Amino acid sequence: MAQSTGGREGSGSPEPERHDIIVIGAGMAGLTAALYLARQGVDVLVVSKDLGGQLLQATVIENYPGIEAIKGVDLAMKVEKQARTFGAKFRYGELITRIERLEDGSFLLESARGSRYQAEAVILAFGKTPKRMNVPGEDEYDGRGVSYCTICDGPLYRGKNTAVVGIGDQGLEAVALLAGLCPRVYYVTPTKLFGDPDLVARVRSAENVTILEKHEPVRVLGDGRRVAGLVVRDKETGEEKTLEVEGVFVELGYEAKTEFVKHLVDLNENGEIVTDCMGATRTPGLFAAGDVTHIPFKQAVISAGDGAKAALAAFNYLQKRRGRNVEIKGDWKKTGRVKPKVQLRVGLKKRKEQ
């Protein structure tokens, strides 16, 4: 039987879907947290906009321990599969926009499309989101010519003129990629060109790239269906011009969109969530992990470690809340559900013989 939510009673809203713990975000931090919670037998649901987060944009990762080189998307899919093996559940296409702590200490979450979820503990692992241009037409043509992931969407614009609105290495990499696909690429950047010297040289020498330094976007133009152009302004002279492009790629960096949780957590000057060394926020039962937090060095392996830590701490919180005195210190359990590859043993034997 459904429990009282303790809030918004009589509002006519449908009963929320309940789980022990909900993880917001299916990037490296959220996926790892789900794996660790599922291994403890916790009923865990991951609610996320997408699978992979920033990993989707990493063409190749060469510094994840134990894996020489892997596409970001493949790494995400591997961890998701591993978490599913132990019973973690996933819900994609959901953007959480509201979170409240109810009188009974549980949390009520709401998504942009009106879904409602309730859990005894929540792990905030919603990482960083691409910065927007904040100009007219951007929202209207988002996904219809405006893209925030050149690696994902660039190949769809082969043979078409495009513009990159970007900064630093991130912008330069996008331009270099599109220069190999598009007849003309405009690079609109708010400063003088800067970044990795090799990338700068590559972009400067590409014949089909027009560099517009110290320029800013003014408005995205469209025909009602798709992008048809981009109006840009010279920041020094104020002169405006229209670029005839069918794709606008925004590569301006990333930000932590923590506005909807700020009543429950402390934020630092970058808007990142401040946690203790266990991933706990100032609200009991609310944990955070990965790039959305104040931890330094935004890396896949660090988000993974952070997710594991927050998961174990959230598990201990849940046990205590339920009056069970069985705090765990780590997870060394061998379930036998997945057998190690035989080659590994052969490899070790060979190494011993050497």
* Nearer residue to ligand FAD within complex by CB, 247 or 290: 290
Of the pair 28, 243, the CB lying nearest ligand FAD is at 28
Site for ligand FAD in 127-146 (CB under 6 A): 127-129
Of residues 146 and 256, the one with the C-beta less far from ligand FAD: 256
CA distance 21 to 298: 25
| Minimal distance, residue 1 CB to ligand FAD, in Å | 29
**Measured from the CB of residue 47, what is the shortest distance to ligand FAD in angstroms?**
6
Binding mask 24-63 for ligand FAD (x = CB under 6 A): xxxxxxx----------------xxxx--xxx-xx--x-x
Closest-CA residue to 146 (of 92, 233, 219, 214): 219
96 touches ligand FAD (CB under 6 A): yes
Q: Segment contacting ligand FAD (CB under 6 A): 6-14, 23-31, 99-107, 203-211?
A: 23-31
- Total of residues contacting ligand FAD (CB under 6 A): 33
Q: Is 125 in the site for ligand FAD (CB under 6 A)?
A: yes
Q: Does 88 bind ligand FAD (CB under 6 A)?
A: no
Give the Cα separation of 216 and 135 in Å (integer).
10
Contact status, residue 21 vs residue 46, Cβ threshold 8 Å: no
Give me the least distance between CB of 91 and ligand FAD, in Å please: 9
| 281-340 residues near ligand FAD, rule: CB under 6 A | 290-291, 298-301, 303
Which segments within the chain are labelled E, that is strand?
17-26, 44-51, 89-92, 96-101, 107-111, 116-124, 129-130, 146-147, 162-166, 185-189, 209-213, 215-222, 227-234, 240-243, 247-251, 254-255, 286-288
H helical segments located in the chain: 28-39, 72-85, 150-153, 168-179, 197-205, 300-321, 342-353
Strand 116-124 and strand 17-26: the pairing is parallel
Q: Give the phi and the psi of residue 80 in degrees, each rounded to 5.
A: -60, -45
CA angle, 248 then 254 then 259, to 5°: 115
* Per CB under 6 A, 167 contacts ligand FAD: no
Q: Which stretch binds ligand FAD (CB under 6 A): 121-129, 177-185, 217-225, 329-337?
A: 121-129
User: Which residues, at least 6 apart from 233, have a Cβ–Cβ distance to it below 8 Å?
Assistant: 215, 216, 217, 218, 239, 240
**Does the protein bind ligand FAD through residue 148 (CB under 6 A)?**
no
**Cα–Cα dist 27/212, whole Å:** 34
95 contributes a contact to ligand FAD by CB under 6 A: yes
SS3 state of residue 22: strand
| Residues 6 or more apart whose Cβ sits within 8 Å of residue 242 | 221, 229, 230, 231, 232
First to last CA, the chain: 63
CB of 60 to ligand FAD, least distance (A): 7
Q: x/- binding map, residues 244-263, to ligand FAD, per CB under 6 A?
A: --------------------
Which residue's CB is nearer to ligand FAD, number 49 or number 101?
49
CB of 52 vs ligand FAD, minimal distance in Å:
6
| Residue 33 beta carbon to ligand FAD: minimum distance, rounded to whole angstroms | 9
Residues of this chain that interact with ligand FAD (CB under 6 A) are 24-30, 47-50, 53-55, 57-58, 61, 63, 94-96, 125-129, 290-291, 298-301, 303
